């Protein structure tokens, strides 16, 4: 089965717009595929699209590779046999490797049930072979942008929660300080009143 479609050549203007739209940092991709020809072809095409591509022939190699080389996107072929695709994804996530990475499953046209299982297991997207690399490029960059936006919102929410917690502590301390001041004032008023009463008593005795 072919793994990519032939696409029209880009006009110079199209290429310039594409280059302008791409982020400065090259997105890191890990491709996990047991087929060496498929790995070579996909890696070459993605490299031409300005991705930083690493290759793994199975899930075990991928896990070891991710220890030292995190990825923004992890492409997993659904035809993996040594360690099945879904098991590979779960193993990577369980090891907390590339926590913010997007998982994209590469499936055949007859893999609809596997695709459903993969998405239900937590895959972010799937791409059906043969695929158009320009379309794949757009989908991958959209996924990364969405993940980055979600990550930013998550960080902002965490910062807001921390600020609220600090404010609650400060407010609690302020209230405690106020209660202590009120108690001190009450004790002072009581002492002044007692002193006043004692002065009145002594004055009455002298009179």
pLDDT grade for 19, boundaries at 50, 70 and 90: very low
Q: Check residue 129 and give its pLDDT.
A: 84
Closest CA to 77 of 31, 123, 27: 31
> What is the CATH number that goes with domain 23-152?
3.40.50.2300
**CB-CB contact of 103 with 87 (8 Å):** no
Distance CA 87, CA 68 (A): 21
Distance CA 54, CA 65 (A): 9
To the nearest whole percent, how much of the chain has pLDDT over 70? Answer: 80
| Model pLDDT for residues 64-108, shown as the tens digit of each residue | 999 999 999 999 999 999 999 999 999 999 988 877 889 999 987
Q: Check residue 17 and give its pLDDT.
A: 42
H or E element that contains 126: strand 125-128
What is the overall mean pLDDT for the chain? 80
Rg of the chain over all Cα atoms, to the nearest angstrom: 33
pLDDT grade for 206, boundaries at 50, 70 and 90: low
- Tokens at residue 105, please? 């499953």
- Tokens at residue 136, please? 């794949």
Is the pLDDT at 25 greater than 60? The verdict is: yes
Is the pLDDT at 31 greater than 90? The verdict is: yes
**CB-CB contact of 130 with 99 (8 Å):** no
When mean pLDDT is compared across 14-23, 26-35, 59-68, 164-173, the lowest value belongs to: 14-23
pLDDT grade for 20, boundaries at 50, 70 and 90: very low
C-alpha neighbours within 13 Å on the C-beta side of residue 34: 12
Distance CA 170, CA 33 (A): 54
Q: Check residue 89 and give its pLDDT.
A: 94
Closest CA to 103 of 94, 111, 116, 92: 92
H or E element that contains 52: strand 52-56
Q: Check residue 146 and give its pLDDT.
A: 76
**In the chain, where are the structural domains located?**
23-152
pTM above 0.75, yes or no: no
């Amino acid at each position: 089965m072919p793994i990519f479609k032939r696409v029209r050549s880009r006009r110079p203007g199209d290429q310039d717009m594409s280059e302008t739209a791409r982020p400065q940092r090259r997105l890191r991709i890990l491709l996990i595929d047991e087929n060496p020809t498929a790995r070579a072809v996909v890696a070459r095409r993605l490299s031409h699209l300005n991705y930083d591509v690493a290759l793994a022939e199975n899930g075990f190699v991928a896990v070891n590779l991710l220890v030292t080389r995190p990825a923004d996107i992890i492409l997993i072929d659904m035809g993996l046999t040594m360690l099945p695709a879904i098991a590979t994804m779960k193993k990577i996530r369980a090891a907390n490797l590339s926590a913010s990475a997007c998982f994209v499953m590469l499936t055949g046209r007859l893999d609809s049930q596997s695709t459903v299982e993969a998405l239900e297991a937590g895959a972010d997207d799937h791409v059906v072979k043969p695929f158009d690399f320009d379309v794949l490029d757009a989908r991958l960059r959209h996924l990364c942008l969405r993940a980055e936006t979600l990550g930013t919102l998550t960080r902002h929410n965490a910062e807001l929660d921390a600020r609220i917690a600090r404010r609650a502590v400060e407010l609690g301390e302020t209230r405690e300080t106020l209660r202590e001041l009120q108690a001190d004032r009450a004790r002072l008023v009581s002492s002044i009143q007692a002193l006043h009463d004692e002065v009145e008593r002594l004055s009455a005795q002298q009179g």
